[in-house]
Chains A and B, each alone.
Chain A
Amino acid sequence: MSSETTHPTHEDVLLDVRDIYTYFRTESGVVKALDGVSFDIRNNEAVGIVGESGCGKSVTAKSILRILPKNGEVVAGEVYYRGVNLLNLTEPQMRTVRGKEIALLFQDPLSSLNPVLSIREQMVDVISLHRGVDEEEAAEIAVKMMKAVGIPEAEQRIDDYPHQYSGGMRQRILIARALALEPRLLIADEPTTALDVTIQAQVLDIIQRMRKELGLSLMLITHNLGVVAENTDRIHVFYGGRVVESGPTRDIFKDPHHPYTIALLESIPSFVKGKGRLATIPGSVPQLINPPSGCRFHPRCKYMTEECKKRPPLEKIGKDRYVACFHVDKVLADRKKSS
């Protein structure tokens, strides 16, 4: 399957990830974490990345920014950002991309701040470096952004140390720092898991506002399907190191095609429905050293046939709609019957 046919470049594409393979060397063998991941993100678009724990979401973000740990490597594929393949850039060129062009909020934000440096020290240098302003102006920008993310008395609090902030405030400091660089693309890896829903709503509100004001694009990685439903335009669903379905957010929620997507949506505890047993997906997460052949979901899929032991291509099924499954017809017929 050639990547061109599955992801024709949209005129408006900002990031185009084409068929990347990322492997890790470990003592027990090679972990094939990404196995041909393809998706794109357009200008000013918010894209959600969802999928089981261990399916390759964080590794994808690290592959794009080329910050994989030493035992990991992108062994094939291309990452086009504004038409340039990031995988061909030199390390110094790459440094001009990180932060200023593409900012990443790490999955574990509380360890991303240095406990012995004040917030001022951790914001001003980065801002003056990437925005090309002097320290005084950088401090002004920092304070402005801290206020924008809802930190009161920012002028004073900028001299505090991380432990003097609550968990939610620290997470907001990182968001302020990332946004202060005015990146074109923000990759946010589980930006709100440590936050209760009121602060989560506040943080997402800020990101959406910045999206309007700065024309920023957002790649939002999260297990929280409510957050995805409310904050994204399109969704790419990952399973076992591949994209198995993608499409506009509403279509994915209302008209999922891939058996994994359907199973995923069925296991959400409903706020309106009663207390019955929750649906689960039988079987376990695929092992990535000797992954299942063909469709990686086949050992857990109720539609599985012999054919599924071959790899299903990610096929276009409608405007912006792609799905990788041999039995889409059966899946849809089943749903018609049950509804």
Chain B
Amino acid sequence: MASVELSSSEQTEVEIFPGSPKDRTDAILEVRNLRKYFPIESKSILFSKVVGQIKAVDGIDLQIFKGEILGLVGESGCGKSTLSKTIIGLEKPTTGQVLYRDKDIHHPKSKTESMEVKRNIQMVFQDPYNSLNPRRLVRDTLKEPLIIHKLAPGREEEVVIDMLKKVGLEDYHALRYPHEFSGGQRQRIGLARALIMKPEIIIADEPVSALDVSVQASILNLMQDLQQEFNVSIIFIAHDLSVVKHVSNRVAVMYLGRIVEIGPTDMVFDRPAHPYTVSLLSAIPFPDPDIKKKRIILEGDVPSPVNLPEGCRFAPRCYKAQELCHKEEPMLQEIRPNLWAACHYPEDEKVIFFDVVEEEA
């Protein structure tokens, strides 16, 4: 987290979260210096010894504001799911804190506080099949949290049916088991399970990846309705960048455990500063055969999160890398108003990817 000294006379330091819009004060979730390392053990017959660390999440500072949709994108394996699981408390952080309305999620002061946090931050898991109990009717899966949190005493059944309809399912679906649904329907059950708690924050991990575009469109519309109707905040993880662009207000781009660029959606997509974001955007396939793109094909593989390269994590694959990049790790800095990137040589120009090849014949 960057601390800025106001002036030499004022000694107070103001905390500045990279990428937080300056005009907003209504953060409801704060992620501070979060790290999650997984130990790598070498097992011999007698001992097991830690020989290294997978640095899945490696120093993240982030605020989530009331009613915003934050898109989270980045290469497969860069730590998006691990970050999410650590935020909801499923993984213990190696360092750092997650605060929900100033309450430390990993160290609740009381049972009530822990219940309040659990209810208010819900996650839609990446794999809809494995996250649902195959031997339970959908009705029972959805009813359980209502009972635990005493959210609708005596009216559970009614609330379940209402919620199924909200996500575009029918009342008879309540009496089915998970395997009796198509992939898209299962993804909607996962969503219903999260929404039924009326949480303040939803973390949706690839909620539309298995869906064809028309079903995907109905889920995205639903997410936007929820944001407008209930003012929920959503962290939205997806590989499909046009989907992220469509739903999010802000976007954070992750690379190897870190946020490398964060800012308002339009700025990140129209005039990205970080070369990784530029490569990412240049790789989006475009659903129009008349448009050919200038593509930056990244060379080489993602470095492993065990042996991180010295300097900038992206340097081994970066088209702009200079000597400095291999020596010194760049920190997130405000490149343009509200747009932050961690790069020594950020892009300045608007990058144009699209070339219309020919006009309609």
Q: How far is the CB of B111 from chain A (nearest CB, A)?
A: 39
Q: How many residues of A contact B (CB 8 A)?
A: 51
Report B162-174 CB contacts with A as 1/0, cut-off 8 Å.
0000000000000
What are 23 A-B interface contacts by the 8 Å CB criterion?
A52-B214, A53-B183, A53-B184, A54-B182, A150-B301, A151-B301, A166-B76, A166-B302, A167-B76, A193-B209, A197-B241, A199-B75, A201-B283, A226-B284, A250-B290, A264-B213, A264-B214, A265-B287, A268-B242, A271-B245, A275-B246, A281-B214, A285-B184
Query: Do A229 and B214 touch across chains, with their CB atoms under 8 A apart?
Result: no
Report B283-301 CB contacts with A as 1/0, cut-off 8 Å.
1111111100001011011
Most chain-A CB neighbours within 10 Å: which of B240, B287, B290? B287
Contacts A196-B74, A201-B295, A271-B245 given; does A230 touch B289 at CB 8 Å: yes
Collect the chain A residues with CB atoms within 8 Å of residue B73's CB.
196
In B246-287, the 8 Å CB interface with A consists of 246-247, 279-280, 283-287
Asked whether any CB of chain A lies closer than 8 Å to the CB of B221, the reply is: yes
Asked whether any CB of chain A lies closer than 8 Å to the CB of B212, the reply is: yes
Collect the chain B residues with CB atoms within 8 Å of residue A194's CB.
76
For A267, give its contact among B75, B213, B241 (CB under 8 Å).
Answer: B213
Asked whether any CB of chain A lies closer than 8 Å to the CB of B118, the reply is: no
Query: Do A230 and B285 touch across chains, with their CB atoms under 8 A apart?
Result: yes
Question: What 3 A-B pairs come out closest when comparing CB atoms?
Answer: A226-B285, A278-B217, A197-B283
Query: Do B182 and A53 touch across chains, with their CB atoms under 8 A apart?
Result: yes
Query: Do B211 and A53 touch across chains, with their CB atoms under 8 A apart?
Result: yes
In A167-195, the 8 Å CB interface with B consists of 167-169, 193-195
Q: How far is the CB of A293 from chain B (nearest CB, A)?
A: 21
Asked whether any CB of chain B lies closer than 8 Å to the CB of A68, the reply is: no
Enumerate chain A interface residues (CB-CB to B < 8 A): 51-54, 150-152, 166-169, 193-202, 204-205, 223-231, 249-250, 253-254, 263-265, 267-271, 275, 277-281, 285
Collect the chain B residues with CB atoms within 8 Å of residue A265's CB.
287
CA distance A267 to B239 in the complex (A): 18
Asked whether any CB of chain A lies closer than 8 Å to the CB of B224, the reply is: yes
Contacts A167-B77, A279-B217 given; does A198 touch B245 at CB 8 Å: no
Known A226-B285, A230-B285; further 17 A-B contacts with Cβ < 8 A:
A53-B183, A166-B302, A197-B280, A201-B295, A201-B297, A224-B240, A229-B288, A249-B289, A250-B289, A267-B214, A267-B216, A269-B242, A269-B243, A277-B221, A278-B218, A278-B221, A280-B217
CA distance A224 to B216 in the complex (A): 11
Identify the closest chain B residue to A28 (Cβ): B180
Query: Do B213 and A268 touch across chains, with their CB atoms under 8 A apart?
Result: yes
For B218, give its contact among A193, A249, A280 (CB under 8 Å).
Answer: A280
Collect the chain B residues with CB atoms within 8 Å of residue A199's CB.
75-76
Asked whether any CB of chain A lies closer than 8 Å to the CB of B210, the reply is: yes
Collect the chain A residues with CB atoms within 8 Å of residue B184's CB.
53, 285
For B212, give its contact among A52, A166, A228 (CB under 8 Å).
Answer: A52
Collect the chain B residues with CB atoms within 8 Å of residue A271's CB.
241-242, 245, 284, 286
Asked whether any CB of chain A lies closer than 8 Å to the CB of B220, the reply is: yes
Asked whether any CB of chain A lies closer than 8 Å to the CB of B229, the reply is: no
Asked whether any CB of chain A lies closer than 8 Å to the CB of B360, the reply is: yes
Query: Do B76 and A168 touch across chains, with their CB atoms under 8 A apart?
Result: yes
Collect the chain A residues with CB atoms within 8 Å of residue B300's CB.
150, 152
Identify the closest chain A residue to B293 (Cβ): A230
Query: Do A195 and B212 touch across chains, with their CB atoms under 8 A apart?
Result: no
Q: Bin chain B's interface residue count.
A: 35 or more
Collect the chain A residues with CB atoms within 8 Å of residue B152's CB.
none
In B42-81, the 8 Å CB interface with A consists of 73-77
Asked whether any CB of chain A lies closer than 8 Å to the CB of B215, the reply is: yes
Identify the closest chain B residue to A153 (Cβ): B301
Q: How far is the CB of A184 from chain B (nearest CB, A)?
A: 25
Q: How far is the CB of B199 from chain A (nearest CB, A)?
A: 23
Collect the chain A residues with CB atoms within 8 Å of residue B285's CB.
197, 200-201, 204, 224, 226-227, 229-231
Query: Do B212 and A51 touch across chains, with their CB atoms under 8 A apart?
Result: yes
Identify the closest chain B residue to A274 (Cβ): B246
Query: Do B239 and A195 touch across chains, with their CB atoms under 8 A apart?
Result: yes
Q: How far is the CB of B234 from chain A (nearest CB, A)?
A: 14
CA distance A167 to B76 in the complex (A): 7
Collect the chain A residues with CB atoms within 8 Å of residue B221's CB.
277-278, 280
Contacts A225-B213, A271-B245 given; does A278 touch B289 at CB 8 Å: no
Identify the closest chain B residue to A194 (Cβ): B76
Identify the closest chain B residue to A201 (Cβ): B283
Query: Do A202 and B298 touch across chains, with their CB atoms under 8 A apart?
Result: yes
Query: Do A223 and B360 touch across chains, with their CB atoms under 8 A apart?
Result: no
Q: How far is the CB of B191 from chain A (nearest CB, A)?
A: 15
Most chain-B CB neighbours within 10 Å: which of A228, A229, A253, A264? A229
Query: Do A226 and B286 touch across chains, with their CB atoms under 8 A apart?
Result: yes
Contacts A230-B285, A253-B287, A264-B213 given; does A277 touch B224 at CB 8 Å: yes
Collect the chain B residues with CB atoms within 8 Å of residue A280's CB.
214-215, 217-218, 221
Contacts A151-B301, A196-B76 given; does A223 touch B239 at CB 8 Å: no
Identify the closest chain B residue to A165 (Cβ): B301
Collect the chain A residues with CB atoms within 8 Å of residue B242's CB.
226, 268-271
Q: How far is the CB of B289 from chain A (nearest CB, A)?
A: 4
